[in-house]
Structure 1
Amino acid sequence: MRSSRHRPGPGFTVLHLVQPVDGGVGRVVADLVRAQVAAGMRVVVACPGHGPLAADVAALGAETEVWHATRDPGVGLPAEIRRVAELAGRIRPDVVHAHSAKAGFAGRLAVRGRIPTVFQPHAWSFEAVSGTTAALARGWERLAARWTARVVCVSEAERDRGARAGVRARWSVVHNGVDADRFRPADTADGLAPTAAARAALPPLAQLPPDTPLVVCVGRLCRQKGQDILLRAWPLVLRQLPRARLVLVGDGPDAERLRAGAPPTVLFAGSVEDTAPWYRAADLVVQPSRWEGMAVAPLEAMASGRAVLLSDVDGASESLPPGQRAQCLTAPDDHDAMATAITALLRDRPLRESFGREGHQHVLSTYDVRQTVRAIADVYRDVAAVPRSERREPIPQ
């Protein structure tokens, strides 16, 4: 009979190791923490102290530990690994859940199979680099699989990419989920149409004429998210729709460079506490990423009743309703195709509204966050119940 300690609930401890703490990764972790605390689990989140995640999960009832870790490997890596080992020894979790490449790197080197470790790439590290660096990243992932009880991918495409790279792992595909109570279609207010009401509630948009075509992009301002591709496409859109406006919601290392080259028709909203109103204010939400596992922002936009346009990276096709893939996917890094698709969707309001309704129902049926947290609980149950002698390459204590 399995010990109750191995059932995710009261008496079960999970240590989430997180870096980065912003963007979709932070939202995924916060959603998991909310559900796990509600289930009576002891939840500990170790992450850098900057950014909102530590405060957010503490407010949800999780314990927090400061883990001073940069996004990339560097001279501080040995100290980061030692800190994880110290936390694991003191907290004695039933499962370590490492999120993204850096946490997966430090966490698996620190634990090395002594505690069941779940690794969730949130997009593979070798996609972000090329040449020798990419080869080294693939080699590391192949090696680290022996210390990984389960690799959790957020899309079938992400799993397939890992398998093609030679990663031999025990896999689970658990799609990202959306809180449909938070991300929902706009309501009317003071006699205004829903989109106009949403814009009126956001001061930077309140003065726009109600019929202004508005594109919104939500994401960290960095190479992965591809806002530079969207900005190259934007002048081509303006040739056809000179009254259109673009809003980039988010902050990041490329903010200054992107601002320097942007025309006045582009608004930089910066980092915001709540992205939901910005989705509701949009006519179209665009995600021009260069790589992903499965981006969270398009799911949130669809839950909000908005049409989306995505670059065809891992998870993008899976996230869309099947009937929208022809019009709502463009090749990565192809700004001409993106401009053509944006223009076509902005000109066709009935199609956008139809896509928005379909996308909303699609997310409710397929990407509800409650399905995600149940699937993760099943993963924990499976890996924590494996006897120590059957785990991969445990290190004697």
Structure 2
Amino acid sequence: MGAWLAGSVKVIHTLHGIHYLNYSNPVLRTMLISLERMLSKKSSAVICVSRTDRDRGLENRLFNPETVHVIRNGVAAAGKERIDSDDLRRELSIGPECPVIINVARLHRQKAQHTLIKAFARVIEKIPEARLMFVGDGPLRSSLEKQTAELNLSQQVRFLGMKRQIQDYLAISDLFVLSSLWEGLPLSLLEAMSVGKPAVCTESDGISEIITSGDDGILVPVEDSESMSEAIVYLLTNTAEAEKMGQRAKVKIQKQFDVHRMISETRALYTELRGQI
């Protein structure tokens, strides 16, 4: 710690999103901005996982433009499913005729799952056999479960909690949805796209760096449940187009968001800094 504060060692500081810029508490937001500036000032390099984070960070003077680098998140090729898809559907009481929507995220205000539940209530009116799975846990679980019950959706919505083998649940899903208010560069979206799942997501920060709307997914305005429901219904009823979007998404991840590319760029930065010692 002393060497770091004295500036005699090389330090790389990685920002996995700068969500505190969206905090409503001004005291907490100011405190975290000050802390970020201090950490960045003492760092030889700052890594942002998205261009959006870099640009917002520069706008808020969080770090020096000469030391910031963008190294986007990457994901590895998906492993083999551990559970047979038919068995998992039976375990979850989801029939083979039911299209499945999946949300993989913390149940938190940032992720705005209340918007997705409102959208799903509209989806059910047109596709009554549809099902929605939430994979993840968090402080809003009870609130979201209450909302689901109030909308009479308890039979169609599953809250599964934390799961280690996400690919098993992606395998039985037809559509991936993120309803976030803001994001850095969400790994859950990259993982879903890497296995060919079409996605409906909000136009929030780093998500727009991943999805080209209408080509490899669909982007909708933040907190717009009506637009979200329309996009979901479109992809669930136009399965050929959804399949094409999913395949284009898979190719994009392989080309632009591969974990080996991320490792290579990170190693190159470390090597460069080591040469400056």
C-alpha deviation, 1:211, in angstroms: 2.2
Alignment correspondent of 2:107: 221
Distance 2:20 2:49 in 1: 16
C-alpha deviation, 1:322, in angstroms: 6.5
Instruction: Determine if the alignment matches structure 1 residue 349 to structure 2 residue 239.
Output: yes
Instruction: Determine if the alignment matches structure 1 residue 295 to structure 2 residue 190.
Output: no
Which structure 1 segments of 5+ residues have no match?
Answer: 1-84, 90-109, 190-196, 388-397
Q: One-letter code of the match for 2:21?
A: E
Distance 1:132 1:117 in 2: 29
Distance 2:213 2:200 in 1: 14
- Partner of 1:299, secondary structure, is helix
Normalised TM-score (structure 2): 0.88
Kept in 2, the 8 Å contact 1:246–1:267? The answer is yes
Q: CA RMSD in A?
A: 2.4
C-alpha deviation, 1:320, in angstroms: 2.1
Distance 1:203 1:360 in 2: 28
C-alpha deviation, 1:131, in angstroms: 5.2
Q: Give deviations 1:139-189, integer Å, cap 9, x for gaps.
A: 43334321121111111111111111122321111111111142x7x8xx9
Kept in 2, the 8 Å contact 1:321–1:358? The answer is no
Kept in 1, the 8 Å contact 2:78–2:194? The answer is no
Which structure 2 segments of 5+ residues have no match?
Answer: none
Q: One-letter code of the match for 1:360?
A: K
Alignment correspondent of 2:140: 254
- Partner of 2:164, secondary structure, is coil
C-alpha deviation, 1:230, in angstroms: 0.9
Instruction: Determine if the alignment matches structure 1 residue 312 to structure 2 residue 203.
Output: yes
Aligned positions of 1:358-397 closer than 5 A:
358-387=248-277
Please point out which of 317, 337, 340 is paired with 2:230: 340
Give the direction of change, closer, same or farther, for the CA distance of 1:160–1:112 in structure 2 (3 Å limit). Answer: farther
Q: One-letter code of the match for 2:68?
A: W
C-alpha deviation, 1:373, in angstroms: 0.9
Q: One-letter code of the match for 1:153?
A: C
Distance 1:299 1:222 in 2: 20
Kept in 1, the 8 Å contact 2:183–2:206? The answer is yes
Aligned positions of 1:46-195 closer than 5 A:
85=1, 111=5, 113-130=7-24, 132-133=26-27, 134-169=29-64, 170-182=67-79
Distance 2:20 2:203 in 1: 18
State, as a whole percentage, how many aligned pairs show the same letter. 27
Kept in 1, the 8 Å contact 2:77–2:194? The answer is yes
Distance 1:199 1:128 in 2: 42
Normalised TM-score (structure 1): 0.63
Distance 1:171 1:159 in 2: 7
Instruction: With a CA cutoff of 8 Å and minimum separation of 6, indicate the structure with the bigger relative contact order.
Output: 2
Give the direction of change, closer, same or farther, for the CA distance of 1:251–1:199 in structure 2 (3 Å limit). Answer: farther
Kept in 2, the 8 Å contact 1:229–1:334? The answer is yes
Distance 1:115 1:238 in 2: 57
C-alpha deviation, 1:212, in angstroms: 0.9
Distance 1:111 1:220 in 2: 34
Distance 1:274 1:217 in 2: 14
C-alpha deviation, 1:113, in angstroms: 3.4
Higher Cα Rg, which structure: 1
Distance 1:371 1:114 in 2: 30
- Partner of 1:324, secondary structure, is coil
Q: Give deviations 1:105-147, integer Å, cap 9, x for gaps.
A: xxxxx74634322222211042341252334433433343211
C-alpha deviation, 1:349, in angstroms: 0.4
